[in-house]
Amino acid sequence: MKKYLCLLTLCLLLTACNQQDLPLEETAEFIAPPGAATMTCRVMEEEDGTLLLAQVDGRAWDVFTTSSREVEVKFEDPARTSIEEGDLVEIIFSGDILETYPAQLGDLQEIWVWADGFDDTAMLYLEVFEDMVEEDAALAHDADMIGLDLSETALSPAEQSAAALLLEWETGLTVLEGTMEELADQGYIDMENLYWEDGYFLSATETERTDTGLTFSAQLWRSGLGALFYSDCNTGREVNGPWEEYIIGAVAVS
């Protein structure tokens, strides 16, 4: 009897050790190391291993940078080999956060990339805005500031702030988040004369959204007599895939 109990105990110990030693991507669920802090984030930019992250369900200022170069990156989908912009990731770190902007996550330990939850909507809107500025460059000429309103989209507050930061990095201009009315209240836009002397305003509004389809409108505005509108734009995607090239329903210029 004692011999049987010893053998049973040994078998249980070996089973537990083998389960613990499995690569994370081969286990049924994500397992955080003991004592580590975790944070679920959207990858907003990946540049040579440097990540810009927006915390899912986070506040507007919950935007972070970190590096994936010296940590182990594990994928729930074993067919994946690299992090992509739009990925939903679990960040495992010490819990320390350097209070810069964007904030920096300290002592990164692992990155777990979820198989589900991919969403590159922010990148889609930044592409739309870039196309609009290219189409009517005169509206953006000599501007020092950009107003950005993504509040009528499905992007979280943190994703909206990260998109504003990416736009600022791309253009070299100061980007101010807010509606046109809010920016007017702050003294940037002259609503009486319908004019923004040293800036232009970008916004997107979603009218219909499903897991595989999106309909939206967008505008580039400088004044009551200087604006570009894209309406009834639509695009599609596979579930957990990137948005396809968008199609403009109608263009209006004022």
Q: What is the pLDDT of residues 15-60, one digit of tens each?
A: 333 333 334 444 446 677 777 899 999 999 999 999 999 999 889 9
Q: Residues 80, 203: one domain?
A: no
Beta carbons within 8 Å of 226's beta carbon, 6+ residues apart: 138, 139, 254
Q: Which domain holds residue 37?
A: 30-113
- Burial of 182 (C-beta count, 10 Å sphere; 0-12/13-18/19+): middle
Position with higher pLDDT, 9 vs 50: 50
Domain-embedded: residue 2: no
Q: Residues 44, 168: one domain?
A: no
Confidence category of residue 74, pLDDT binned at 50, 70, 90: very high
The phi, psi pair for 225, rounded to 5°, reads -110, 10
Confidence category of residue 238, pLDDT binned at 50, 70, 90: very high
| pLDDT tens digits, 139-158 | 999 999 999 999 999 999 99
Could you tell me if 61 and 101 are in contact, meaning their C-beta atoms sit under 8 angstroms apart? yes
Domain-embedded: residue 99: yes
Residue 61 has pLDDT above 60, yes or no: yes
Could you tell me if 104 and 65 are in contact, meaning their C-beta atoms sit under 8 angstroms apart? yes
Q: Residues 125, 248: one domain?
A: yes
Helices (H) and strands (E) in the chain, counts: 4, 14
Which tokens hold the place of 58? 């986070």
